[in-house]
Amino acid sequence: MTATNPKLPPVATLAQQCSINPPKLSAPITNWAKAASSGQNTFPKTIVGKLPADAFKNK
């Protein structure tokens, strides 16, 4: 939190983004996902991000 200046927001610094708690499982759904099959899944690979040429154009 950027506490030294009250005009600065408490949520927008990098370290504070998404600083929220997961929802409570008050009504949990059981078996909504299929059983894991070990070794069968490949985690998504990171891609090289690219913004289109018109990104931010006239903005």
Residue listed under structure tokens 């009504």: 27
Residues 6+ apart with CB under 8 A from 8: 2
Residue 1 CB, nearest approach to other proteins (Å): 10
Q: Which residues bind other proteins (CB under 8 A)?
A: 2, 6-14, 17-23, 25-30, 32-34, 36-52, 55-57, 59
Residues 6+ apart with CB under 8 A from 13: 1, 2
Residue 44 CB, nearest approach to other proteins (Å): 3
Residue 12 CB, nearest approach to other proteins (Å): 4
